[in-house]
Amino acid sequence: MIYVLIGLIIGLLAGFIFYHRTRKPYFAHAEYWVYSNNHEMPSTEKLMVRLVGSNPYVQQGQNPIGGAEGLVLSDIRLKIALLLKTRNQNLFDGRRVPASIADQHDFIREIGSFQSIVKLQYISTTKLKDKRHLQFLMHAADATAEICESGWILDKVTGVLRTKTEQTEILAKNFNVTKLEFHARLEANMDNSFSSFGLIKVGIADFDTHPVAADQVQLVREILERYMTLSWERGEAFPDPIKAYDDEFFMLQKPTRHNRTIMRIVRKQMIP
């Protein structure tokens, strides 16, 4: 009996050590670039006045940047920096823009004329309690663009480029801008594989899949979109099977690099 207990304790201890050695540390990352011709960053005071004192997106007397969101401005996880063209020439080269915006010809023509980028970055290595940082960043990027008289805002994590007008329309129509549709996207690749971008904003690893058969593309897309929605709502990777077309599918993920995973979808099958 004593040997069984000793073996059990050793097994539990080994499992505990293995779990903590292999578990990837928590990491959340959201980042926006505002292209500008200014050589100075907007002051904290100007940002605060624009976000809180004179926010143009107040609805029914309620400011979308409340007390909780306003505190993000003093959060040590928030970094606001000025990237000058004189020191970062490569960031203003139209030949080096992300592939996701390669067709944004107006921006590519203009990028070489900008003198700076205001970078708004939020990185957390402790589990986030909510999505207030995303509400703040969407409004802060818009406020920065207005103060700097900028016409372009780049979501660096998803590779989505918006004009100031497009950003304004989103904020004017949506009081809550922490929803998945504003922060993440699923990309279908030429080889029938899929990649997600933006889940990392709430601490969920983004994924890549292997290529799938042509007749399975639509099914796989629906399963992945469902997984992303459920995970976003939970604030963590959805652990249960995804139901689709009277079947259930397990989402198996293997960590790779840069906080991404390889995603495999396995159909649940009953063994007779």
Helix 164-173 to helix 132-147 angle (10° resolution) is 140
Contact status, residue 195 vs residue 206, Cβ threshold 8 Å? yes
Quote the CA–CA distance of 110 and 164 in Å, as a whole number. 14
Secondary structure (DSSP) of 175-214: S---SGGGT-EEEE-TTS-EEEESGGGGT--EEEE----G
Q: Within the chain, which residue ranges are assigned CATH 3.30.1400?
A: 28-180
Specify the pLDDT at position 45.
95
Question: What confidence category does residue 245 fall into, taking pLDDT thresholds of 50, 70 and 90?
Answer: confident
- pLDDT tens column, 64-98: 999 999 999 999 999 999 999 999 999 999 999 98
Distance from C-alpha of 172 to C-alpha of 179, rounded to nearest angstrom: 15
Q: What is the pLDDT of residue 271?
A: 58
Please, are residues 73 and 47 in contact by the beta-carbon 8 Å criterion? Answer: yes
Statement: 28-180 belongs to CATH 3.30.1330:
no
Using alpha carbons, select from 190, 198, 244 the residue that is nearest to residue 222: 244
Question: pLDDT confidence of 258, banded at 50, 70, 90?
Answer: confident
Query: pTM of the predicted model, to two decimals?
Result: 0.88
What mean pLDDT is predicted for residues 48-76?
96
